Amino acid sequence: MIEVKNLSKRYGDFVAVDDVSFTCKPGRVTGFLGPNGAGKSTTMRIIAGLTPAGSGSATINGASYHDIPNPSTHIGVLLDASAQHAGRTGAETLRLSAMTMGLPTSRVDDALAMVSLTPEESGRRVRNYSLGMRQRLGIANALLGNPSVLMLDEPANGLDPAGIHWMRTLLRGYADRGGAVLLSSHLLSEIEIIADDLIVIGNGRIVAEGTKEELLAGTGALVRSADDNRLAHAVAAAGIAVHPADGGGIRAEATPEVIGRIALDAQVALTELRGGDGARLEEMFLQLTEQNQREQPQGA
């Protein structure tokens, strides 16, 4: 289990992580989401003992990374698949890790088999690996010590659709056997499929967290009408937050009954009005992090 409590980190005047707290539980895949620069990587580096915290704590099964004897047998970490010695073979990379951890060399073959790297592939120099093969090697390294916790940053980078399906199956099986997985990815569709819990960070602070079902169930109303612009202005004028909805229409942070009355008063004919259930992860993510997005629509 990973526990982060009141974690903060400053770089001069810049606050990278601001009083962040969350838990990544055994038996569950926790998706860690946020725009570029939101604080995800800094938080993960602090958990992995690579960056000191300014204040607060990050523990793995109750202990900080530096206080765990042979930590790679407790938490497997992949933060940058490209940060591997290009002159070694894949097998040599894992054998060196096994020696460092005091593991039998048989674990190398087991790890290579888990990530579907063949003997021929594991005998190549890492400089000749594709990004997808480096990802597989990095995941093998993370799994080598048979840890109870996995922390992976963008593990699907460079994987083709079959590779992404493989990774999803691997991580799901790992969690189902009782492991805790903290997974950061920009592939929101994959997070939506595999994650049990979601943590959304923006500007260094947690903006939402909970089970996937809780967060995607949403609140408020989804409404489509004969004049969405006019209805959106009427809803906003009533002091209710309103957002564009995928496929047209709007999502409003009020009950369908309230939105129905506003539409009636504005004399806007409705074509659809229902509770805001079934929101997609991408839509929820963009709404929660809209103040942190680099890319804004024209005229925004």
What is the sign of the dihedral through the CA atoms of 173, 178, 183 and 189? positive
What percent of the chain clears pLDDT 90, i.e. is strictly above it?
66
CB-neighbour burial class of residue 294 (10 A; exposed 0-12, middle 13-18, buried 19+): exposed
pLDDT top residue among 298 and 11: 11
CB-neighbour burial class of residue 104 (10 A; exposed 0-12, middle 13-18, buried 19+): exposed
**Going by C-beta distance under 8 Å and a sequence separation of 6 or more, which residues neighbour residue 83?**
none
What is the predicted pLDDT for the residue at 75?
97
Q: Is the pTM of this model over 0.75?
A: yes
Least trusted range by pLDDT, from 7-16, 68-77, 160-169: 160-169
Q: Which among 281, 285, 276, 254 has a CA at the least distance from the CA of 35? A: 285
Structure confidence by residue, pLDDT tens digits, 169-201: 999 999 999 999 999 988 787 888 899 999 999
Query: What tokens does 35 get?
Result: 């725009």
What is the predicted pLDDT for the residue at 251?
84
Question: Which value, in Å, is the radius of gyration of the alpha carbons in the chain?
Answer: 22
CA distance 143 to 181: 12
Structure confidence by residue, pLDDT tens digits, 22-49: 999 999 999 999 888 889 999 999 999 9
CA distance 90 to 100: 16
Structure confidence by residue, pLDDT tens digits, 230-285: 999 999 999 888 888 877 899 888 888 889 999 999 999 999 988 765 556 777 77
Structure confidence by residue, pLDDT tens digits, 127-175: 999 989 999 999 999 999 999 999 999 888 888 888 889 989 999 999 9
Q: Spell out the domains of the chain, with CATH numbers in brackets.
A: 2-210 (3.40.50.300), 219-277 (no CATH)
32-59 burial code (b ≥16 CB/10 A, e <16):
bbbbeebbbbbbbbbbbbebebeebebb
Distance of CA 276 to the CA centre of its chain: 23
- Would you say residue 225 has pLDDT above 90? yes
What is the predicted pLDDT for the residue at 276?
63
Answer yes or no: are the C-beta atoms of 23 and 42 closer than 8 Å.
no
